[in-house]
Structure 1
Amino acid sequence: MNAVLAVRQYVSKMIEDSGPGMKVLLMDRETTGAVSVVYTQSEILQREVYLFERLDSPNREPMKHLKAICFLRPTKENVELLVQELRRPKYSVYFIYFSNVISKSDVKALAEADEQEVVAEVQEFYGDYIAVNPHVFSLNLLGCCRGHSWDPAQLTRTTQGLTALLLSLKKCPMIRYQLSSEPAKRLAECVKQVITKEYELFDFRRTEVPPLLLILDRSDDAITPLLNQWTYQAMVHELLGINNNRIDLSRVPGISKDLREVVLSAENDEFYANNMYLNFAEIGTNIKNLMEDFQRRKPKEQQKLESIADMKAFVENYPQFKKMSGTVSKHVTVVGELSRLVAERNLLEVSEVEQELACQSDHSSALQSVRRLLQSPRLSELDAARLVMLYALRYERHGSSGLPALLEELRGRGGTDRYRKLVSAVVEYGGKRVRGSDLFSPKDAVAITKQFLKGLKGIENVYTQHQPLLQETLDQLIKGKLKDSQYPYLGPNTLRDRPQDIIVFLIGGATYEEALAVFNLNRSNPGVRIVLGGTTIHNTRSFLEEVTAAGFRGRSTESSQVPRSSSRR
């Protein structure tokens, strides 16, 4: 089960089927993203695809010497644009591929428009999602629910994306869903309806143990997307933001022109593939080792590389090194910026308190730690708010809650009222009344010895104690211990054996911390293959946008008490 490979194979097949000759790839906004994460432009150029165009681009010139490969979502808008295109074709021949099921009436409309008989092929290739990693996919949808109910348009799009994923992986699964979540049940029913309606498409070779689709709700674990991260991929997304494998570095002080936007793709970047799940300390060491290997070839100009700054200076002073290893210069820049942000925002100290809030249960110590950090002028507005949010979720019903005082301290720090309101909004979204699971199950006190931190050395496990709820849920599922009473099957049939092929989907968005958990579960459970999907992949900022879009705007902190969350509908 490899999402990246599935979409790559679709793109390869499109290009092959169009035969030899110069081609244009005609896409829409979403399919452009789907293709860009699995194929580089240079790779496609080698396959005689010399032009990339958007179907909705108004100023495309006629180029009759080109064949057109159209890869489009089967939307009403795209069908209308294609009809117009075929009435006045700009290219010699059209190979049309829809990323999902297309209705017969739409095919008929295209056939009627094709008076010049330029259409060679119309097919369905189910690449209707963003293949982030081989085991991770996203639909890039933000704000999928209104309150705790689906936005109808987003439900339709999510159903399409999820069924496309199943079709591309050739899986017809049994479905389980989180009982406490109305959106999870609704999505499960919609996916089942599509499988029933399109039964011929889902008629795959039966396996001994049927695949399983597990549908969960982000609101069951609002802690994970609020935490700072210390593994490479997750950290980059948290601090810089990853959008379809692209990182915007334009705001980095003194950034060179060619590094303003960089691509991090495990498919085409060996260093990233080997380091994406390693912690920050190890990455710094690995870059240093890589550069020292190169330096050994130039003994006269040996330099010591003690810090990120030394590494950056080294790269800038060696144009030939830069040429040989653009990858390294890219990663030195990214890690350098991460390092700068960690220092500037005091994230080691912030993260330690976050982990204490998420994993420990000493209320007075946690409250003291949060209050101490709120006094720090180095603490950003976002980090201050996230600490209070984590406290509010963790000690929501504590008898001696310090939340009113913390909200008052947030006010005292100045800044906008937005984050203060979001504290109560986050509790409305994912508080105790909403959750179906025990997010803060009692854990044995683990003695963690924290080593002194200096430079790149030692992001110790004090910063990575937290494990997402998803890890526990999947662990129970793999062992056959996930309770039917909390995660029922849709329909009368149940699995007799432990599942082997598992697709888990998070309504409201997944995170890279959860992607890491799935990666580790796949590695430690031979014979089990898990693919993780979400309506989007969150960092803290996008998660707070999700909460806001759902309509949980919270109250002004004039009233010192956080409101009780609304009950599920």
Structure 2
Amino acid sequence: MIRYQLSSEAAKRLAECVKQVITKEYELFDFRRTEVPPLLLILDRSDDAITPLLNQWTYQAMVHELLGINNNRIDLSRVPGISKDLREVVLSAENDEFYANLRCLSLATLESFNGLFGVREPVALVSPLQAFVENYPQFKKMSGTVSKHVTVVGELSRLVGERNLLEVSEVEQELACQNDHSSALQNVRRLLQNPRVSELDAARLVMLYALHYERHSSASLPGLLADLKSRGVSEKYRKLVSAVVEYGGKRIRGSDLFSPKDAVAITKQFLKGLKGVENVYTQHQPLLHETLDQLIKGKLKDSQYPYLGPNTLRDRPQDIIVFIIGGATYEEALTVYNLNRTNSGVRIVLGGTTIHNTKR
């Protein structure tokens, strides 16, 4: 079974191509018949351009965002004072139990290790993780593993402080999850004046503002672009603002990313605003969460995600393969991980043309 995002011509074309291959090479796909056939869901990144622009606070996502993961390898050669044997390290869940256990944990869940989470010092957000690494009993005897993770976490901590990412992330979350235009505009302008905020982070904030408020009656996008120019942000970054709106703006999206659609969603959004500082960096949920939740419950609309061909799935899907044209993110991988844990009998696999961070 194949379903695809109707608003995306690319998703439809890919669905048709996959169907042709399955029909032509049917023997390759006839190896394991199940009572409920597996479902391939093809989505388009342009329907949610917000998620790849947000800083993340799980270990794996932070490593990819701030250091970059390439075939499980991390380049640490630019870390000040790095030893020769740690210039490149491997983070593999198959061979590293610590990494396997911690890679999907939000740093918000580590506050109990030393109670520092929520303290507004840049190092505070990473300190619980660093303390856990250093005291993890199974690895005290494995100095190489300890050194590797202490080095990685230490560099994450340094970069979080250097780039003022706590403040940046808080405003990113406000832009993605709240609808207070006046507050958002004020906070974006404040950060654009902060010299610790990098060119890329400044441009990213304006991109998020543009995606959310492009049609707001009081939108001030030209003023923010002028602010970027006046602080010396390069033209290549300034051009990304209009490019991201062209790619994933309201005219393109098949879904509404910012407005709750029913009473339950409105209540959830309201409660998010009451949870306090420990959750301010993790308010956002990618659109994929809602899409898969509706699919599992049998409520995903055929009018928006039609089946390819006459057959439809009558039973609850058991094996779901999601493929995102334009790439997936580690936040979406975390969503799939959590849905697999909480939905017995459902197995979801996520794929895409790349794994995003904001540099690619």
Instruction: Provide the TM-score with structure 2 as the length reference.
Output: 0.90
What secondary structure, in the 3-state scheme, does the structure 2 residue paired with 1:176 have? strand
Question: Does residue 131 of structure 2 align to residue 288 of structure 1?
Answer: yes
* CA distance in 2 between partners of 1:211 and 1:377 (Å): 51
* CA distance in 2 between partners of 1:193 and 1:293 (Å): 51
What secondary structure, in the 3-state scheme, does the structure 2 residue paired with 1:266 have? coil
The answer for the alignment partner of 2:282 in structure 1 is: 464
CA RMSD of aligned residues (A): 1.7
Moved more, 196-205 or 250-259: 196-205
Structure 1 contact 176–215 (Cα < 8 Å) conserved: yes
The answer for the alignment partner of 1:180 in structure 2 is: 7
Q: Which amino acid aligns with 1:448?
A: L
Q: Which amino acid aligns with 2:181?
A: H
* CA distance in 2 between partners of 1:359 and 1:478 (Å): 24
Alignment of 1:4-403 (within 5 A): 174-280=1-107, 282=110, 284-285=127-128, 287-289=130-132, 291-292=134-135, 324-403=142-221
Alignment of 1:457-536 (within 5 A): 460-536=278-354
Structure 1 contact 448–462 (Cα < 8 Å) conserved: no
* CA distance in 1 between partners of 2:137 and 2:181 (Å): 51
Larger fraction in strand: 1
* CA distance in 2 between partners of 1:291 and 1:383 (Å): 31
Deviations 1:380-409 (A, max 9, x none): 000000000000000010111011110000
1:448 to 262, 274, 288: 274
Rate the CA distance shift 1:481–1:232 in 2: closer, same or farther, 3 A: same
Rate the CA distance shift 1:371–1:264 in 2: closer, same or farther, 3 A: same
Larger Rg: 1
Q: Which amino acid aligns with 2:51?
A: T
* CA distance in 1 between partners of 2:223 and 2:159 (Å): 28
Structure 2 unaligned blocks of 5 or more:
111-125, 261-265
Larger fraction in helix: 2
What secondary structure, in the 3-state scheme, does the structure 1 residue paired with 2:19 have? helix
* CA distance in 2 between partners of 1:448 and 1:504 (Å): 33
* CA distance in 2 between partners of 1:394 and 1:260 (Å): 40
Q: CA deviation at 1:287?
A: 4.6
Structure 2 contact 340–348 (Cα < 8 Å) conserved: yes
Identical positions, percent: 83
Q: CA deviation at 1:293?
A: 6.3
1:415 to 214, 233, 248: 233
Structure 2 contact 52–358 (Cα < 8 Å) conserved: yes
* CA distance in 2 between partners of 1:185 and 1:428 (Å): 20
Higher relative contact order (CA 8 A, sep 6+): 2
Q: CA deviation at 1:487?
A: 0.3
Q: Which amino acid aligns with 1:285?
A: P
Q: CA deviation at 1:227?
A: 0.3
What count of residue pairs does the alignment treat as equivalent? 336
Instruction: Provide the TM-score with structure 1 as the length reference.
Output: 0.57
Structure 1 contact 234–513 (Cα < 8 Å) conserved: yes
The answer for the alignment partner of 1:159 in structure 2 is: none
Deviations 1:257-309 (A, max 9, x none): 111111111000011001001123627435524534669xxxxxxxxxxxxxx
* CA distance in 1 between partners of 2:81 and 2:133 (Å): 24
Q: CA deviation at 1:440?
A: 1.4
Deviations 1:436-479 (A, max 9, x none): 1111132432333544xxxxxxxx21100000000100000000
Structure 1 unaligned blocks of 5 or more:
1-173, 296-319, 452-459, 543-569
Deviations 1:332-376 (A, max 9, x none): 111101100110111000000000000000000100110111111
The answer for the alignment partner of 2:118 in structure 1 is: none
Structure 1 contact 287–328 (Cα < 8 Å) conserved: no
Structure 2 contact 107–129 (Cα < 8 Å) conserved: no
Deviations 1:173-213 (A, max 9, x none): x0000000000000000000000001111113321111000
The answer for the alignment partner of 1:154 in structure 2 is: none
